[in-house]
């Protein structure tokens, strides 16, 4: 999470005194005695993590480390034995998490120190984002803005952090202290009463500072001028040569690209649209896009989008599917529509559970160890020629994707990460060639797929597919979205509440704010794609539950965790985007959409209140609050309410709906006037067909123009 640490004074000692003690090279080695030897190459027994469902935790099940999952058993042991906690947080597709596991956690020497001096807890950040969010912020405080995964944090038995870092090699290298040395130093300091007292005092200050940061939001109204100023700031960070933002590493940043797209629609300034097109063009042509298998990798380590970090995340692809479909509507560029379909195809054949839910991620690393990544994806001329014996066909493939004898990646000389270099002379052949390459590539050892199903991430993909269907008319997208929506409703909900994770038939862990926000949005998108009232009912019920569980009625805004969730050392209200839009931003937009559909003054008031509660953050970070600004654009632009009266199966009704779906304006809601719908949507009352013809009523602030029956007139 991009926290604005610079806006908060962190000049107090905090853990810096402890950090200096731990990192001081002149300290004597405080741990005496020999490290017990453990059995050479013998396979260690399974530890507690073997009983967990998380693929990431199970990856550590054979470690000699005496791992605990996060829970009372581990915390009680730390309190009883008065030992510090070593908390290690990561996720299954994290490359450096695998490296640290291989170098240190699978090592008997390291395990001996950890087991003797610490209570060791392993957390999957994707299962427990509440735990990750707090200790990542603590790490950023102690590291003066750094952070990442694997996240390594040392805690007192009361769960208060006192030292943090990310990846540590077993022995010192890369300019980083060795993990063995660090562990012995921390253990020694904890064993000295006066040093332990300093550690505990500093940890108290860090915990207090966390809550101060969480409580530091300043209210402020977000006006059209605010939006225009923020868009200008974002545009100023656009890479003029390769598109996107900044230099390297370069992330897709879909919320910020959407921000510029909205700015173009709001202001008519063509420069914003050019920046959007540059980002979309370079991303879909670069190595970050998997041109054979579909979908996008996590980010590019090079400015030109050529060399990706090869993991694939469901949530990135969900947002990019929406963005490319919308880009097609605005520009008419057929390549954007093809890229959106390409993402949906990847999701359908590689990321979908038979029951309909979507898997979380695909690993970056090649199978067989953490030594490298990308081998599954690269090609060389010999491989292409073997697959295409016809020399002309082989040359066409190599020309299209820039495959050369030299290759384009210094990590693997002679290997090429595919890029789109030229337009295909024969599109039909190239489509068939890509499919042949996919079949051949599937024979290679394949990176692992993390098969856990996360509620919020599934909500994002349901929205992506539903909006893709609206823009492109692809029925397979809608079918996949509906099936996944039903999966969420049946398998990830209990007693009206949302659970976060499902795997192997088991749903577990309380949903956090973003889970609720993304799923509510998905249910609204499913209604606007199918017009089945069941999705409205589900959206409204889940929205009511989210307000009851997360809303702060005293100050405003929504907390990250529910009021009945596990009590952690701090409780915050996230508004800064990370790789996904903030839960508060999407909740604000959901409330405003519901207000437009229902006429609810309460929903509108709560949506505006949420925007205003975080309004002061906008001036600090126009990119970090992109999703909040996009929600504010919906409000400031005075969205249209469109009610179509007609039968869903009537082609004339369908033509009116398609006129709405294919319009590039994001600031609208649409409803189908069906029998009884006015009980859910009171503004639908009295809107009927005109002389037996389906009719559309275009309203703004609940003042409606005369109904139209002609799709062309509706487009205008």
Could you tell me the residue range of the domain that residue 651 belongs to?
Answer: 641-715
Give pLDDT tens digits for 222-257. 999 999 999 999 999 999 999 999 998 999 999 999
CB 231 within 8 A of CB 259: yes
Whether the per-residue pLDDT at 106 is higher than 70: the answer is yes
Residue 219 forms part of a structural domain: no
pLDDT tier for residue 22 given thresholds of 50, 70 and 90: low
In a domain, 376, yes or no: no
Average model confidence (pLDDT) across the chain? 92
E strand or H helix at 95: helix 95-100
Helix (H) or strand (E) holding 661: helix 651-661
Give every CB contact of residue 591 below 8 A, 6+ residues apart in sequence: 543, 603, 604, 606, 607, 610
d(CA 361, CA 62): 22
What CATH number has the domain bearing residue 533?
1.50.10.10
For residue range 524-544, list pLDDT tens digits in order. Answer: 999 999 999 999 999 999 999
Looking at the structure, do residues 323 and 454 belong to the same domain, yes or no? yes
Instruction: State the number of CA atoms in the 13 A half-sphere of 512 facing the CB.
Output: 25
CA 106 to chain centre: 29
* Inter-CA distances, 453 with 53, 93, 127, 501, Å: 11, 14, 10, 6
What's the CATH number where 193 sits? Answer: 3.40.30.10
Q: How many domains does the chain have?
A: 4
With respect to residue 372, please indicate whether it lies within any of the assigned structural domains.
no
Whether residues 470 and 604 fall in one domain? yes
For residue 374, being part of any structural domain is answered with no
Are 359 and 453 in contact by the 8 Å Cβ rule? The answer is yes
- Do 86 and 126 sit in the same domain of this protein? yes
Residues 660 and 601 in one domain: no
Residue among 62, 87, 63, 61 nearest 74 (CA): 87
- The contacts of residue 530 (CB under 8 Å, 6+ apart) are 478, 482
Contact 657, 684 (CB under 8 A): no
508: exposed, middle or buried (C-beta count within 10 Å: 0-12, 13-18, 19+)?
middle
User: 83, 165 in Cβ contact below 8 A?
Assistant: no
Round to whole Å and give the CA distance between 245 and 260.
12
Question: Is residue 216 over pLDDT 90?
Answer: no
With cut-offs at 50, 70 and 90, classify the pLDDT of residue 4: very low
For residues 280-295, give the mean pLDDT: 98
Residue 620's pLDDT band, with cuts at 50, 70 and 90, is confident
DSSP string, 491-540: HSEETTEEEEEEETTEEEEE--HHHHHHHHHHHHHHHHHH--HHHHHHHH
Burial state string for 392-412 with b = 16 or more CB within 10 A and e = fewer than 16: ebbebbbebbbbeeebbbeeb
- Return the residue matching tokens 């409803």: 671
Residue 369 lies in a domain: no
Q: H/E element holding 482?
A: helix 475-491
Q: Is 373 part of a structural domain of the chain?
A: no
Task: Give the C-alpha separation, 158 to 153, whole Å.
Answer: 13
Q: Which two tokens stand for residue 332?
A: 């008419």
58 plus 142 within the same structural domain: yes
- Is residue 282, in this structure, part of any structural domain at all? yes
- On the question of pLDDT at 631 being above 50, the answer is yes
Taking residues 410-432, report their average pLDDT: 95
- Give 43's pLDDT tier (boundaries 50, 70, 90): low
As a whole number of angstroms, the distance between CA 418 and CA 287 comes to 6
Are 483 and 584 within one domain?
A: yes
**What pLDDT digit, counting tens, does each position of 150-170 carry?**
999 999 999 999 999 999 999
User: Distance (Å, rounded) from C-alpha 564 to C-alpha 642?
Assistant: 38
Is residue 292 located within the same domain as residue 170? no
Token pair in block for residue 612: 């205003």
Confidence label for 20 from pLDDT (cuts 50, 70 and 90) = low
Same domain, 496 and 349: yes
* 207 and 286 share one domain: no
Backbone angles phi, psi at 621, to 5 degrees: -155, 100
Predicted pLDDT of residue 1:
34
Shared domain for 305 and 410, answered yes or no, is: no
Beta bridge partners of 308: 300
Per-residue pLDDT at 5? 27
Side-chain half-sphere CA neighbours of 296 within 13 A: 30
Q: Residue 592: what are its φ and ψ, rounded to 5°? A: -70, -40
Which residues, other chains included, contact 549 with Cβ-Cβ below 8 Å and sequence gap of 6+? 497, 516, 562, 563, 564
Same domain, 315 and 357: yes
> In sequence order, which residues have a C-beta less than 8 Å from that of residue 528 and are 6 or more positions away?
466, 470, 669, 670, 671
Give the tens place of pLDDT for each residue, 388-417. 999 999 999 999 999 999 999 999 999 999
pLDDT at residue 473 greater than cutoff 80: yes
Instruction: Say how far apart CA 363 and CA 356 lie, in whole Å.
Output: 21
Among the candidates 399, 426, 444, a domain finishes at 444
Q: How confident is the model at residue 3 (pLDDT cuts 50, 70, 90)?
A: very low
Do residues 199 and 191 lie in contact, with contact meaning Cβ atoms separated by under 8 Å? no
Q: Which of 151, 184, 214 is the last residue of a domain?
A: 214
User: Does the structure show a pLDDT above 80 at 44?
Assistant: no
* Across 334-352, average pLDDT: 98
460 and 404 within one domain:
no
- Bridge partner list, 698: 642
Instruction: Calculate helix-pair angle for 334-350, 475-491, nearest 10 degrees.
Output: 40
* Domain termination site, one of 444, 462, 488: 444
Running DSSP on this structure, what letter comes out for residue 104?
I
pLDDT tens column, 544-581: 999 999 999 999 999 999 999 999 999 999 999 999 99
Q: Are 520 and 590 in contact (CB under 8 A)?
A: yes
Instruction: Establish how many alpha carbons lie within 13 A of residue 519's alpha carbon, considering only the half-sphere containing its beta carbon.
Output: 34
Q: Which helix (H) or strand (E) holds 506?
A: strand 506-510
pLDDT of 12 > 80? The answer is: no
């Amino acid at each position: 999470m991009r926290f604005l640490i610079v806006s908060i004074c962190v000049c107090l000692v905090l853990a810096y005194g402890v950090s200096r003690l731990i990192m001081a090279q002149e300290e004597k080695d405080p741990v005496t005695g020999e490290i017990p030897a453990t059995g050479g190459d013998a396979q260690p027994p399974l530890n507690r993590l073997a009983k967990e469902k998380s693929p990431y935790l199970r990856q550590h099940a054979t470690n000699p480390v005496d791992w605990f999952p996060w829970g009372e058993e581990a915390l009680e042991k730390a309190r009883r034995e008065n030992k510090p906690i070593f908390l290690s947080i990561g996720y299954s597709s994290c490359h450096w998490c695998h490296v640290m596991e291989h170098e240190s956690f699978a090592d008997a020497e390291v395990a001996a120190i950890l087991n003797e001096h610490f209570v060791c807890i392993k957390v999957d950040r994707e299962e427990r984002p509440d735990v990750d969010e707090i200790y990542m912020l603590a790490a950023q405080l102690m590291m003066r803005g750094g952070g990442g995964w694997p996240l390594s944090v040392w805690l007192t038995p009361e769960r208060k952090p006192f030292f943090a870092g990310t990846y540590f090699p077993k022995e010192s290298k890369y300019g980083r202290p060795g993990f063995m040395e660090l562990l012995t130093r921390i253990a020694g300091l904890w064993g000295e009463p006066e040093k332990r007292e300093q550690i505990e005092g500093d940890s108290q200050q860090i915990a207090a500072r966390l809550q101060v940061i969480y409580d530091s939001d300043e209210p402020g109204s977000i006006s059209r001028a605010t939006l225009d100023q923020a868009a200008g700031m974002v545009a100023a960070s656009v890479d003029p040569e390769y598109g996107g933002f900044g230099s390297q590493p370069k992330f897709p940043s879909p919320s910020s690209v959407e921000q510029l797209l909205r700015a173009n629609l709001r202001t008519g300034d063509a420069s914003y649209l050019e920046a959007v097109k540059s980002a979309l063009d370079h991303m879909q042509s670069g190595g970050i896009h998997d041109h054979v298998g579909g979908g996008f990798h996590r980010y590019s380590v090079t400015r030109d989008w050529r060399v990706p970090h090869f993991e694939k995340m469901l949530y990135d692809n969900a947002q990019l599917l929406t963005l490319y479909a919308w880009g097609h509507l605005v520009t008419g560029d057929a390549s954007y529509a093809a890229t959106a379909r390409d993402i949906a195809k990847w999701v359908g054949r590689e990321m979908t559970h038979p029951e309909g839910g979507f898997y979380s991620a695909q690993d970056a690393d090649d199978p067989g160890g953490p030594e490298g990544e990308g081998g599954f994806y690269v090609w060389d001329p010999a491989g292409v020629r073997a697959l295409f014996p016809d020399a002309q066909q082989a040359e066409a493939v190599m020309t299209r994707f820039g495959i050369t004898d030299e290759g384009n990646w210094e990590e693997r000389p002679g290997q090429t990460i595919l890029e789109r270099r030229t337009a295909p002379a024969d599109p039909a052949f190239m489509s068939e060639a890509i499919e042949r390459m996919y079949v051949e590539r599937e024979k290679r050892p394949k990176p692992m797929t993390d098969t856990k199903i996360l509620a919020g991430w599934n909500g994002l993909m349901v929205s992506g597919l539903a909006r893709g269907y609206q823009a492109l008319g692809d029925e397979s997208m809608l079918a996949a979205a509906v099936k996944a929506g039903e999966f969420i409703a049946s398998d990830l909900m209990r007693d009206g509440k949302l659970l976060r994770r499902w795997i192997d038939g088991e749903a577990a862990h309380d949903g956090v704010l973003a889970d609720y926000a993304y799923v509510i949005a998905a249910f609204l998108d499913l209604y606007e794609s199918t017009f089945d009232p069941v999705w409205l009912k589900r959206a409204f019920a889940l929205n009511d539950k989210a307000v009851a569980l997360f809303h702060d009625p005293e100050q405003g805004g929504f907390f990250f965790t529910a009021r009945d969730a596990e009590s952690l050392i701090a409780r915050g209200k996230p508004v800064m985007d990370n790789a996904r839009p903030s839960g508060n931003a999407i909740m604000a937009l959901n409330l405003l959409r519901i207000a437009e559909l229902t006429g609810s003054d309460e929903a509108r008031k709560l949506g505006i209140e949420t925007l205003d509660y975080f309004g002061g953050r906008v001036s600090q970070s126009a990119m970090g609050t992109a999703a909040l600004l996009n929600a504010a654009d919906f409000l400031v632009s005075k969205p249209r309410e469109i009610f179509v009266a007609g039968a869903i199966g009537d082609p004339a009704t369908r033509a009116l709906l398609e006129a709405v779906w294919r319009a590039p304006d994001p600031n609208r809601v649409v409803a189908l006037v069906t029998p009884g719908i006015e009980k859910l949507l009171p503004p639908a009352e009295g809107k009927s067909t005109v002389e037996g013809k389906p009719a559309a009523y275009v309203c703004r602030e609940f003042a409606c123009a005369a109904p139209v029956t002609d799709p062309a007139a509706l487009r205008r």
